[in-house]
Amino acid sequence: MRQTTLRPVIRVIQENCVNCHKCIMVCPVKMCNNGSGSTVEFNSDLCLGCGECIHACDHHARIGLDDFDLFMQALKGGTNIVAIVAPAIATMFGGEYLKFNGYLKKIGVKAIFDVSFGAELTVKSYLAYQKQKQPPLIIAQPCPCLVSFIEIYRPQLLPYLAPADSPMVHTMKMIKRFYPQYAGYKIAAISPCYAKRREFDAVGIGDYNVSFKSMLDHLENTQEKISSYTPIPYDSPPAERAVLFSSPGGLMRTVERYDLSASSHTRKIEGSPEVYNYLAHLDKAIKVRSISHYNLVDCLNCKMGCNGGPATPNRKKQLDEIEMNIERRNNAAKAYYRKHGTERSAKRKLEKLLDDYWQEGLYDRSYINRSELFKRNVKIPSRKEITGILVNMYKTQERDILNCSSCGYENCEQMAVAIFNGLNQPENCRHFLDIEKDLINQQHKAELDKMITSVYGHIREEMHKSIQGIDSLTKLINETATAILTSTTVVEEMVENVRSVHNTLEHNAKNVLKLNTSSLEGKSRITAIGTLITDVATQSDVLIQACKVIGDIADETNILGMNAAIEAAHAGEAIGKGFAVVAGEIRHLADNSGHQALEIEKSLKSIKRLIDSSTESSGHAQVQFDTIVSLAGAVKDEELRIKNAVETQNNGGQQIMQSLKTVNSLILQIKAEATALLESGTTVLDNISFLKNHESDRI
C-alpha cells in the first residue's frame, strides 16, 4: 500500500473484487477510488473512511480496519488500558449493554467510561462556543467522516465546523485531566466507526479504535455469551439525554434541554449521499442566504446515525428495534437525574456535574485544511479537456450524456474528470460500450457481409455443381432403372427357362427312374434267362450224354443184334429165323436208335451250340444290361445332380428376381428422392440468392 498522509481505515481485498464499481457508486467522494484497472483500488488520502463501500460490496472485497488485534495483544501483555464505550453500545446485546462492561473487565480493561457523558460535555462545549463567539452557523463534528470531507473537499466550511472535540475525544481528555489514577493508561475506544482512528491521529489522543464488529466477531469465535456476565456500571458519571447522541438528531435533542426551540433552528441531516450533497452546497447557501434560519447543523454520515455505523451489525436490522433500545436508555437516564427532585433540580445536578468535568479550552479542537490532498491527487480539467474526453467517449451530442451512473459516478462529467485523472477508463461507460459495440458490430457486419458474399458464392457454385451432379445422377438412375428393367425381363426369361428345364428334368427323372427300374428288371430277367439257359445247357449236356449212352446202347444193341443174328444163324432156322428177325429188328431198332441218338445228339449239340451261343448272348446281354443299369444309374445320378443344380439355379433366379424387384423399387425411390433433391437444390439456390439480397437488412 502506498504511503499516505491519512491512515487507511478500509482495505481492498483485490482477489475478491469483481470490478463492479458499486463501491464508486456509493462513495460520496468518488475520486478516492481508482477504477481504471481490473479491480477498484482506493486512495486513503481522499477516502473519508465512511465505510459505505464496505456495505455496498457484495463480494467482501472491502473491509474495515481497526486496532482490535493490537488491543488484545496489549491486554495480554499486561498493558494498562481503560476503555471508552460509544453510546451505540445500547443497541447491542438486547439492551444488556452493561454486561459488556463485565466482559471488558474480565479481559483486563481497568476502567470503562461512557462516551455519552463525553457527549454531554460536547454539548456544553458547543453552547459555550456559541455563547462566546456567536457564530452564524455551527456544523457539528462528532462524525469523523464529515470532518474529513470538510477538511479535504470543502475547506471553505472549516470556519463553521464546531471547534470542539467529538464526544469520544471529550471523554478521553476528561479521563486524562480528571482521572489521574489512569494517567499513563492507554485508552481504547469501543466504537461503531472505523474513521474514528483518524480523529485520534489528528487530535493525538486515543490508542486503540476497537470496532464493535471486531468485538462481536471475537465473542462469536470464542463463544462468549455477554448475557452470562454481571452488568457493571461505567466509571464515568452517568449521562442524561446525550445517550441519544448515537441516533440521528441526538445532538439536537440534547441541546433541547437548554433550548426548547433547538429543533426549529437546527438542520438535522444524515446519511450518504444526502449529507454530503448538503455540505457540498452549504457554503454557497451561506453566501446566498446568510444563514438566517439554521444555526446548527446536526449531521452524521450514517443514515441510522452511529447506531448503524459501518462497524456495527445494525445496518440490516429494523430501525425501530435499534432506536427502541436507545430511547429506553434515554428514559432511564432522564429518570435517574429526576429521581431526587424536579426536572429543574435534575438539570442543575447534571450541570454541576458537567462543570466539574469541563474546563475552558480543554476540549478545543482545530482542523487542518487538507484540500492540498485533493489538489495533489485530482486535477480539474478545463472545459475543453472535458469535452475532449467526452468526445473520446463518443459523447458528441446532448443525448449521449446519459448521466446514468452505471460507471459509479453521478454524471458523465464526473466520469470525465475521473478519466482525466487516470481514475477510470471509457470502457467502464455504458454509452461508450454501446457505441463500441455498435462499431464492432458494424465492423463485424462488414466482415460478415464480405464473408457471406464469399460463402454464398461458394455455396451457389457448389449448389450448381451439386445440381449438375444430381442431374447426372438422375440420368444414371434412369439408365440404371432401364437396365434393371431389361435385366429383370432377361432374368425372368432365364428363370422361366430354368423352370422349364427343371420341369423337363422332373419329367426325365421319372423316365430315367422307369428306365433304371426296367433295366434292373431286364437285368434280373436276363439273369434269370441266363440261369435257365445254363440249366437248359446242362440238361442238353445230360441229353447229349444220354444220346451218347443211347448211341452206345444202340451200338451195343446192334452188336448184340449182330451177335443175336449170328446166334440165330447158329440157332437154326426155326428158332434162328425168328430170332434172326428179332435180332434184325433189334439191330434195326438199335440202328434206328443209334441213328436217332446220333440225330438227337446232333440236334442236341446244335441246340447246345445255340444254347451256348444264347448263354454267350445272354452273358453279353447281361453285361450290356449291367452297363445299361450302370448307365441308367449314372444318368439318374447325373439327372439328380442336374436337377439339384437347376433347382439351385431356379432358387438363385428367384432370389435374383426378388433382389431385382427390390433394387427396382429402391431405384424408383432414389429416383423420386433425386428428383426432390433436384427441386430442393433449386429452391436452396433461389433462397441463397434471396438471403444474399436481404442479408444486409437482417444483420
Residue 16 CB, shortest distance to ligand SF4, in Å, is 7
Smaller CB separation from ligand SF4, 418 or 656: 418
Smaller CB separation from ligand SF4, 115 or 407: 407
From residue 121, how far is each of 5, 202, 287, 561 by CA, in Å? 30, 20, 31, 207
How many helices (H) and strands (E) would you count in the chain? 19, 11
Smaller CB separation from ligand SF4, 33 or 650: 33
Determine if 59 is a binding residue for ligand SF4 (CB under 6 A). yes
Determine if 415 is a binding residue for ligand SF4 (CB under 6 A). yes
Determine if 155 is a binding residue for ligand SF4 (CB under 6 A). no
Determine if 253 is a binding residue for ligand SF4 (CB under 6 A). no
Determine if 280 is a binding residue for ligand SF4 (CB under 6 A). no
Q: What whole-number distance in Å separates Cα of residue 328 and Cα of residue 330?
A: 5
Residue 197 CB, shortest distance to ligand SF4, in Å, is 12
Which residue, among 384, 371, 370, 373, has the nearest Cα to 420 in the 3D structure?
384
Q: What whole-number distance in Å separates Cα of residue 626 and Cα of residue 90?
A: 138
The enclosing H or E element of 617 equals helix 573-698
Residue 19 CB, shortest distance to ligand SF4, in Å, is 5
Neighbouring-strand partners of residue 211: 191
Which residue, among 649, 638, 633, has the nearest Cα to 500 in the 3D structure?
649
Q: Reduced to 3 states, what is the DSSP secondary structure of residue 187?
A: strand
Smaller CB separation from ligand SF4, 403 or 675: 403
Determine if 271 is a binding residue for ligand SF4 (CB under 6 A). no
The 5-44 site mask, x for binding ligand SF4 (CB under 6 A), equals -----x-x----xxxxxxx--xx-x--xx-----xx-x--
Determine if 213 is a binding residue for ligand SF4 (CB under 6 A). no
Neighbouring-strand partners of residue 344: none
First to last CA, the chain: 49
Determine if 425 is a binding residue for ligand SF4 (CB under 6 A). no
Which residue, among 211, 226, 209, has the nearest Cα to 107 in the 3D structure?
226
The 347-386 site mask, x for binding ligand SF4 (CB under 6 A), equals ----------------------------------------
Residue 145 CB, shortest distance to ligand SF4, in Å, is 7
Specify the stretch interacting with ligand SF4 by CB under 6 A; choose among 119-127, 255-263, 411-419, 533-541: 411-419
Q: What whole-number distance in Å separates Cα of residue 574 and Cα of residue 644?
A: 97
State which of residues 170, 370, 431, 643 lies at the interface with ligand SF4 (CB under 6 A): 431
Q: What whole-number distance in Å separates Cα of residue 211 and Cα of residue 66?
A: 6
CB of 86 within 8 A of CB of 306?
yes
State which of residues 411, 539, 624, 680 lies at the interface with ligand SF4 (CB under 6 A): 411
Determine if 391 is a binding residue for ligand SF4 (CB under 6 A). no
Count of residues near ligand SF4 by CB under 6 A: 42
Residue 148 CB, shortest distance to ligand SF4, in Å, is 8
How many Cβ atoms sit within 10 Å of the Cβ of residue 42?
21
Residue 362 CB, shortest distance to ligand SF4, in Å, is 31
Determine if 566 is a binding residue for ligand SF4 (CB under 6 A). no
How many Cβ atoms sit within 10 Å of the Cβ of residue 210?
27
Q: Reduced to 3 states, what is the DSSP secondary structure of residue 364?
A: strand
Q: What is the dihedral of CA 34, 39, 45, 49, to 10 degrees?
A: 120
State which of residues 70, 402, 571, 645 lies at the interface with ligand SF4 (CB under 6 A): 402
CB of 235 within 8 A of CB of 124?
no
Determine if 104 is a binding residue for ligand SF4 (CB under 6 A). no
CB of 625 within 8 A of CB of 523?
yes
State which of residues 407, 533, 536, 660 lies at the interface with ligand SF4 (CB under 6 A): 407
Q: What whole-number distance in Å separates Cα of residue 490 and Cα of residue 470?
A: 29
Q: What is the DSSP letter of 42?
A: E
Residue 144 CB, shortest distance to ligand SF4, in Å, is 11
Determine if 150 is a binding residue for ligand SF4 (CB under 6 A). no
Q: Give the interface with ligand SF4 as residue ranges (CB under 6 A).
A: 10, 12, 17-23, 26-27, 29, 32-33, 39-40, 42, 47-53, 56-57, 59, 61-62, 402-407, 409, 411-412, 415, 429-431
